[in-house]
A and B are shown apart, each in its own frame.
Chain A
Amino acid sequence: MPNALIRSALAAGLLAAAPMAAADTIYVSNEKDNTITVVDGTSLTPIKTIPVGQRPRGVVLSKDGKSLYICTSDSDHIEVLDLASDKVVRTLPSGPDPEYFALDPAGKLLYIANEDSNLVTIVDVQRGAVVTEIPVGVEPEGMGISPDGKYLVNTSETTNMAHVIDTAARKVVANVLVDSRPRRAVWTADGAQFWVSAEIGGTVSVVDAEKRQIVKRITFAVPGVPNEAIQPVGIVITRDRKLAFVALGPANRVAVIDAQSYEVLKYLLVGQRVWSLAFNPDQSRVYTTNGVSNDISVIEVGSLKVVKSVPVGQAPWGVVSRP
């Protein structure tokens, strides 16, 4: 099998080229079968399936790494999965239909996008209570919090804006018009930029965080793939801002971008309808959720190659990696 050949060749290359990635555990939310799949990062095999609430989508780790917060959208709350016992031990209020969220750098507040009600809900994790709600555009979706925690960027899918929210004042302070159906807003580690993917627009806008202006609109073209199928969603950017990875949805590719020159370096073929992306702890790998092929792909950052796909549950949506 060519597949096996490629895999063994890549595995060999990986051993030679990079030190073995530190062991991690990968958690994948499966939107359709209401579970979290646990994948062992060393063997890259699924080791456990945990039943959770309905339609789990966004996932984020607590700062101590002991809990996983899960947007269980159709259950209309956030579930807290204890990663020692692998059991849901608490639920947090979220407002209706939570899809995606961000945890503040202190690990105390969750900022939740309520897709169905044009609100961002702020929840105090410890008290398990809603602090406040902020009205935003139609169908809030992406949530990105600045590294210093001062600003939250929320995207609204039908309003086509990235709203910059001052987290102290809890008010929208700026709006940046981006391309159609913006999905994710991801900050660079230095806090100088945030990147916004536009699923229908087919672009990624790089926004200067201080000026709140678009400095670059990155476009994509994959030979043999219809233009309409290029639908950017998930973004991850390396800490040193050298590389960015963008999931292109039904184009079944992840674009690799030079995050300094904004040039697209490469398109990596992954599973079908690639959606969310996550680094492993040392950023030597990117994991992708592939919603239609029901697997995750593993990308080696050093070689920029896809080294493995791991079957998970139905319609995998979110992914995180824990040391």
Chain B
Amino acid sequence: MLFCLGTLVALLAANAHAGEETVQIGWLSRAVHRSLPLSYLDQPPPDEGVQGARLGIADNNTTGRFTGQSFELAEAVVPEDGDIAGGFRELAAKGIRLVVTDLAASELLTVAGLPEAASATFFDAATVDDRLRGEDCRNNILHLLPSRAMLADALVQYLVAKRWRDLLLAVGHGEGDEEFAADIRHAAQKFQARIVQEKSWTFIPGARRTDTGHFAIQAEVARFTQGITYDVLVVADEGDEFGDELSYHTFDPRPVAGTQGLVPSAWARPHEQWGATQLQNRFLRQANRWMTDRDYGAWMAVRAIGEGSVRSNSADPDKIAGFIHSDRFELAAFKGARLSFRAWDGQLRQPVLLADARALVSVSPQPGFLHQFSELDTLGIDKPETKCRMR
């Protein structure tokens, strides 16, 4: 078998409604072997993402009992060396046209460009890439997680609100680091913060897990940050290679923010506002671990389909997708605002959490950052500046 395909049957028996309809939702991901991050504490869960989709199915089915609708998840997980297009075709062959994806940008574009995908809608629950919302946007993809630009804007808004305007930017060499740094630069310009210096992090602490490795790090970070006047050290290290080692090691006492320290994110473990405790609890009970951004993205994707189906009173993928794209669509997702998709790039507009490992620090947009239509649109690429030309 090239890929394993499992179907999660509706957990809850539906009411004896006449004409019960089943909404088939596809799940498409690739089993990727992931390396351990710097911190031993957060080992990447093998079922990241799909657990969120399964919880969304359970939530939808609880509603479905009352509306005579049921929801099923058809899971297509392509092995590391497998063919992603084949994975999608397997779902398409079952007539599935609403597909939640946990794929990297390039693979998502491959799948979305297939001839069989023309009438499908993809719910991207994993990427933050700006290009997928910009020059590489597609009219059959919706993005659930905030873009990198939204994350950077959320952080810089907060730093500016705190009047910590002078930023020292430390940029790694991993995937996405340069993109995040570019978004920080853009945000700084937009919200009038100042990047006093930008430095590339090149030190490779080969023996950091040895007994005295931390002394080398301590000295290196102090040297790296010495002689610069700044308020906050902003780090771009999406792969968790060094960012966690900057805090408490800087020459001057300065907080760390960005991909480590104070982190802007779609979801965060310490988040318990606006009823989020309920979602955290449900997820913990189901998955026996904490919900991550990708789980949350997948949960929102399945819930968006559930809303589209209940509100349009239909199991037809076209009607559901049509409703989701309409201005009547709104999603409640435990962040104190109604969420909807931006028409110009398919991005879900949403508040962004700012949290460290143990505490929710703030939620952006910050009060006072105004917008003529929605304050949520102060985060990320707004309509006038979008590079997206839908195709």
Listed in ascending order, the chain A residues whose CB lies under 8 Å from chain B are 115-116, 118, 135, 137-139, 156-161, 163, 172, 175, 177, 179-181, 199-202, 226-228, 231, 250
Contact = CB atoms under 8 A, between A and B. Distances in A.
A163 B65 CA distance: 12
B281 interface: yes
Contacts of A181: 275, 332
B311 A228 contact: no
B17 to A, nearest CB: 11
B353 interface: no
B331 A177 contact: no
Given A159-B63, A180-B331, A202-B338, A139 B275 contact: yes
Contacts of A159: 59, 62-63, 66
Contacts of A199: 332
Given A139-B275, A177-B310, A181-B275, 16 more contacts: A116-B278, A118-B62, A135-B65, A137-B63, A159-B62, A159-B63, A160-B310, A160-B332, A172-B66, A180-B331, A199-B332, A200-B338, A201-B338, A202-B338, A226-B375, A228-B374
Nearest to A179: B330
> Main SS of the interface on chain A?
loop
Interface string B29-68: 0000000000000000000000000000001001101110
B376 interface: yes
A32 B330 CA distance: 31
A91 B341 CA distance: 47
A163 B59 contact: no
Nearest to A199: B332
Contacts of A177: 67, 310-311
Nearest to A181: B332
A232 B334 CA distance: 15
A95 to B, nearest CB: 14
> Main SS of the interface on chain B?
helix
Contacts of B311: 177
A163 B337 contact: no
A132 B78 CA distance: 46
A172 B63 CA distance: 13
27 contacts: A116-B278, A116-B282, A137-B62, A137-B66, A156-B62, A157-B275, A157-B278, A157-B332, A158-B278, A159-B59, A160-B310, A160-B332, A163-B66, A172-B66, A177-B67, A179-B330, A180-B331, A180-B338, A181-B275, A199-B332, A201-B330, A227-B374, A228-B336, A228-B338, A228-B374, A228-B376, A231-B336
Contacts of A138: 59, 62-63
Contacts of A172: 66
Contacts of B332: 157-158, 160, 180-181, 199-201
A269 B385 CA distance: 37
A323 to B, nearest CB: 34
A200 B330 contact: yes
B295 to A, nearest CB: 16
Interface in B291-334: 303, 307, 310-311, 330-332
Contacts of A116: 278, 281-282
Contacts of A180: 330-332, 338
Given A116-B278, A139-B275, A227-B374, A158 B59 contact: yes
Contacts of B65: 135
Nearest to B307: A160
Contacts, number: 69
* Interface size range on B against A: 20 to 34
Across chains A and B, which 9 residue pairs bring their CB atoms closest together, nearest first? A200-B332, A180-B332, A159-B63, A175-B66, A181-B332, A228-B337, A200-B338, A138-B62, A138-B59
A177 B63 CA distance: 10
Contacts of A137: 62-63, 66
Contacts of A139: 275, 278
Interface string B59-88: 100110111000000000000000000000
Nearest to B371: A226
Contacts of B67: 175, 177
Contacts of B275: 115, 139, 157, 181
A196 to B, nearest CB: 14
A62 to B, nearest CB: 28
B345 to A, nearest CB: 20
B352 to A, nearest CB: 14
A227 B376 CA distance: 10
Interface string B265-278: 00000000001001
Nearest to B338: A200
B66 to A, nearest CB: 4
A250 B66 contact: no
A202 B337 CA distance: 9
Nearest to B376: A228
Nearest to A231: B336
Nearest to A176: B66
A23 B105 CA distance: 67
Contacts of A179: 330
Contact of A160 (B63, B337, B374, B375): B63
Nearest to B303: A158
Contacts of B303: 158
Contacts of B62: 118, 137-138, 156, 159
B334 to A, nearest CB: 9
B242 to A, nearest CB: 37
Nearest to B12: A135
